């Protein structure tokens, strides 16, 4: 069988005013990924096709799109996963507003990132004096693999077709960030009166998540967002709310700090 063939592609073209799917036939060679084909399409038939990419190595998180309806990185999706007769449809991320063609405005995510207070260093230790157990390092290290492709944010049903939920819901990537900080043994947020578990519930919409694991399924870094971040965060938030000892402890702490 020849190693090159002509594949059928349908690509969404348009802008904020609307758009449509357009059909193309593009050459595919052995070992190529979807982003290669999009580049060939730009080079040969659609020079003004807008597409965002940087690394072509699954590390910058900018080539996110929906391929046959599934949120994926174009540079990490091999053409060999599709049949030669199959039409490959590429559309922009559905949860975010289109700028043009395959480029969306993902600023929702940056706004959510800014709403999460950063790590609070312990007051009684200087940088260089921080000590952590290896198991405490291992857990957040998984979350730090995030490349901010926002595929999880795009796929989560809480916001995917529900623009109205966006103000109240940070999305899996940023709830994972809250979990990471809440699990951090040196984070001194509580000493400043910041209760990360409470903010996860009250300000970042943790309660909207019904642990469907769709976010985990699309993560190109294989981060177990639901099992390792969201469920533990939910457990810790619920413990805090319903555990009478935790409740009493927080009351006493609040009273003594007020005095």
User: Does the protein bind ligand FES through residue 62 (CB under 6 A)?
Assistant: yes
Cα 43 to Cα 47: distance, rounded to the nearest angstrom: 6
User: Does the protein bind ligand SF4 through residue 206 (CB under 6 A)?
Assistant: no
The smaller minimum CB distance to ligand SF4, of residues 28 and 223, is found at 223
Is 97 within 8 Å of 19 (Cβ atoms)? no
Q: Which of 12, 27, 32, 58 binds ligand FES (CB under 6 A)?
A: 58
Work out how close the CB of 57 gets to ligand SF4 at its nearest, in angstroms, rounded to a whole number.
14
Closest CA to 146 of 61, 66, 23: 61
Q: Which of 11, 33, 147, 183 binds ligand SF4 (CB under 6 A)?
A: 147
Residues 6+ apart with CB under 8 A from 213: 226, 227
For 72, the token pair is 């994926």
Q: At what angle do helices 107-114 and 172-183 cross, to 10 degrees?
A: 20
Q: Which of 60, 99, 168, 194 binds ligand FES (CB under 6 A)?
A: 60
Q: Which of 134, 210, 256, 257 binds ligand SF4 (CB under 6 A)?
A: 210
Burial class (CB within 10 angstroms; exposed 0-12, middle 13-18, buried 19+) of 231: middle
Return the range that interacts with ligand FES (CB under 6 A); candidates 48-56, 80-88, 166-174, 205-213.
48-56
Residue ranges in contact with ligand FES by CB under 6 A: 53-56, 58-63, 73, 75
């Amino acid at each position: 069988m020849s190693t090159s063939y002509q594949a059928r592609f349908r690509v969404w073209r348009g802008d904020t005013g609307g758009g449509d799917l357009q059909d193309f036939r593009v050459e595919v060679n052995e070992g190529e990924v979807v982003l290669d084909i999009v580049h060939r399409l730009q080079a040969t038939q659609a020079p003004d096709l807008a597409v965002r990419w940087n690394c072509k190595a699954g590390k910058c998180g900018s080539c996110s799109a929906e391929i046959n309806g599934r949120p994926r990185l174009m540079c990490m999706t091999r053409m060999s996963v599709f049949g030669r007769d199959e039409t490959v449809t590429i559309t922009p991320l559905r949860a975010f507003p289109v700028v043009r063609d395959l480029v969306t405005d993902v600023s929702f995510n940056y706004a959510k990132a800014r709403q999460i207070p950063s790590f609070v260093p312990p007051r009684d230790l200087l940088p260089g004096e921080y000590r952590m157990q290896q198991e405490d390092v291992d857990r957040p290290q998984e979350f730090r693999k995030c490349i901010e492709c926002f595929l999880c944010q795009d796929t989560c049903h809480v916001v995917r077709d529900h623009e109205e939920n966006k103000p109240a819901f940070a999305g899996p990537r940023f709830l994972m960030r809250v979990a990471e900080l809440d699990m951090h043994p040196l984070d001194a947020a509580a000493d400043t009166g910041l209760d990360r578990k409470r903010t996860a519930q009250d300000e970042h919409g943790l309660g909207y998540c019904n642990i469907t694991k769709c976010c985990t399924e699309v993560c190109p870094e294989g981060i177990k967002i639901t099992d390792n971040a969201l469920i533990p965060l939910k457990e810790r938030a619920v413990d805090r709310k319903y555990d009478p000892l935790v409740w009493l402890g927080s009351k006493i702490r609040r009273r003594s700090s007020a005095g």
